[in-house]
Structure 1
């Protein structure tokens, strides 16, 4: 009798185990909001208007990549279904409170699957708690503050500002070991992070920061700050600001007769951004890049660049083909498609898992030698390499090889 009871108990336990095995995956596969068998809805909040409307090119760049993907039928995902990507874009003018309002609307009214390419460090900070509470992916943020990439539902895209600062420092240590730096920086966590990282990378060397001046995105002009920096006797100008102020700094550095060695963060150094300064004034400017230099009149044989130019023309994109912000948006759209392709389930958790386990993923516009690589909780920074370029008055020319910080993004 005991043997029979034991057998029945064993059979019952096996039945329960089998039921759990069957029910578990089915439950895990239950789609998250914002995704059906045919579409996945993605939200973007960015500055389409206002003093930093140039950053609106990021959202337009995403659309430039997504339109041809949808025209071809959509993205074939790992669950076997092919889905088109529906983009919902809201204007926040780079106002953090408006970003939060927009993201609430996107999550609650539009029921997006994820938000993408949120621009601005304060803006991403403003939505961080809400994103976590709602379990909505904040995918491929456009912010170089590395601390933002740590939380469960957030991951960045562009290299950290600490990586760019370390790359600038390496150049100066190798080529101008007694440089005297004047720093023009955004008085936000963006600029402060860069400043701290630059100081750390130069600590104990002959390169010194002799003056630093903060600016805000609302400043109508930064001439007073630039005059103060010039008066410091610095022979090197480092700029970490938005595009408008970056162009003003480049113009001032030349037309005032100062003519320091000028290094400008990639957020303000695209050729499109430099045009207001006068391209002749920008001659000699050094910047860091992770994207290919695009020349629409001479694209060469690069298949990725050719595809980008064709997509740009077909989409009638508002940004110029040489706008690094638009190119970044295009690359983010490309990266979104790669993540969707590798998702193992139609869930937000699966999206974050895919984004945090990228294995040397190549994108059309990434420079040779630079790929998207993440390793779960160990390495959450997709791009950790940069290459320096110098502007010759018409185009950027490579200045040395790719500098890699793969797996070791500086933490100040």
Structure 2
């Protein structure tokens, strides 16, 4: 990538993030949301921790703003390394929150706390987390939508909380991140709503972004995770600030609400991904949206239109004929002439057995083999000796 393109990308992301951080801090200072130049007693230390959550979240949101603006300067088909450079430059621009919060905190007096150091660390951690948020905003459209929706909702809640204090005689309220701290609500109602405000906001944004992603025929996994990015920043901001330790549970209640916000956002988008299984339809209702092929997802092969067979064509022609014009080959019914003698053909009657014309040949009688005529053998033994033995015995007597 050319040097001019790198310089344009770095300058756009860095400048937009710095401008976003300064503008958000100016709005927070002007509305009285952030009041860093004050004396806080030990019993009110949770209010100081609520300010830290705002500082961390503003740093994260500033990095996201820089990434969204710098995305326009990215070259076509930018790789992961280029997007990471854009995210890092956005986080560097968001680091302007660090000096803009440390300088007012020099006059703050917090019992047992070094306010300048603590607020600088929280702002720096928020800018570091902003690298991940900025990279998600550059890489995925659903992350940009959800971050924008949740960010707008957080600022809308803050403005609603401080709106009654704009009257001349009303004091400035202590506004917590993602909590309706309006003066027209009692303390008990405020504590109850603090437990449900952020999860409800995350759930609504998750459902809205999930529906938008589903209508654009995005993958199911993308739709299911479309409600994660924005609520995750609220969770991380409260993790940086801490849960607090006051007896009135001023910071503990919104802390645990923020811990469940990410899960609520994912729940909303997962419900959309599971329940919306029909084909995606565009806004004008013209028809289903066809997903465009990408290098990772090539187009599916198309089947050529098959011509009808000869049998189907013959059947179609036969269906247009009248009953008088039908032929046996069209209906498959053939007329069989009657048999001799006037009997009609019955296909279910038993068929007669065929009779043999000639008698079967008689098998020849077996012939026994001839008897043997050889003389019987002469027995051997003492009583049956031959003539030679008798003559030998007779000769012994004449000697």
The TM-score, its normalising length taken from structure 1, stands at 0.22
**Structure with greater contact order relative to length (CA < 8 Å, sep ≥ 6):** 1
Higher strand proportion, which one?
Answer: 1
User: Considering only CA atoms, is the larger Rg found in Structure 1 or Structure 2?
Assistant: 2
Higher helix proportion, which one?
Answer: 2
